[in-house]
């Protein structure tokens, strides 16, 4: 009888481990993403070499990247610059832009809101720009 009790206990432990592993595997992202609809201006170069500048609204942002939609047709690996005007509540009324340099890491076809594609960007560098 003692052996049967040990066997049941072992099975329960294995099941619990599998449940924990599954919960951790669901979110593979390294950083938390925040759904902050911040207005942004995106500029960069299209695959044909033509420069573009387009206004959009971020769908989400983290410390390492952001996701937004564009009309411009980019390719993975495109270098882009984002300029996000920070809300005055966060900057004590000063006009401050967060300027981010990044590279596209994922593209999705979109039909919503009239935009051509969803763009995921990984940030490379950042700076704050104070406007007088």
Task: Give the integer Cα–Cα distance in Å for 19 and 53.
Answer: 47
Task: Quick: pLDDT tens for 13-39.
Answer: 444 444 444 444 444 556 788 888 999
Residue 59 confidence class, pLDDT cut points 50, 70, 90: very high
Which domains does the chain carry? 39-131 (2.30.110.10)
Nearest-5° angle of CA 88, CA 101, CA 104? 115
3-state secondary structure (DSSP) of residue 5: helix
Q: In this predicted model, what pLDDT tens digit does every residue of 83-107 receive, in sequence order?
A: 999 989 989 999 999 999 999 999 9
> Considering the chain, what is the average pLDDT of its residues?
82
Classified as helix, coil or strand, 90 is coil
- Would you put residue 114 in left (φ > 0), alpha (ψ -120 to 50) or beta? left
Give bridge partners of residue 6 from the DSSP assignment: none
For residue 47, with 0-12 CB atoms within 10 Å meaning exposed, 13-18 middle and 19 or more buried, which class applies?
exposed
Per-position DSSP letters for 7-32, written without gaps between them: HHHHHHHHHHHHHHHHHHHH---SS-
Residue with the bigger pLDDT between 13 and 132: it is 132
Residue 32: per-residue pLDDT: 82
| Alpha carbons 109 and 122: distance in angstroms, whole number | 18
The span from the CA of 40 to the CA of 66, in Å, is: 11
Q: What percent of the chain has pLDDT over 70?
A: 74
């Amino acid at each position: 009888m003692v052996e049967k009790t040990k066997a049941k206990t072992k099975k329960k432990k294995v099941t619990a481990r599998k449940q924990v592993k599954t919960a951790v595997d669901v979110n593979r992202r390294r950083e938390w993403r925040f759904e902050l609809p911040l207005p942004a201006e995106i500029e960069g170069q299209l695959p044909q070499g033509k420069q573009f500048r387009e206004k959009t609204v971020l769908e989400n942002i983290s410390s390492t990247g952001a996701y937004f939609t564009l009309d411009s047709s980019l390719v993975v690996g495109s270098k882009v610059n984002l300029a996000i005007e920070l809300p005055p509540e966060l900057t004590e009324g000063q006009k401050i832009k967060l300027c981010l340099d990044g590279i596209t890491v994922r593209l999705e076809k979109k039909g919503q809101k009239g935009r051509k594609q969803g763009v995921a960007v990984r940030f490379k560098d950042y700076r704050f720009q104070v406007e007088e």
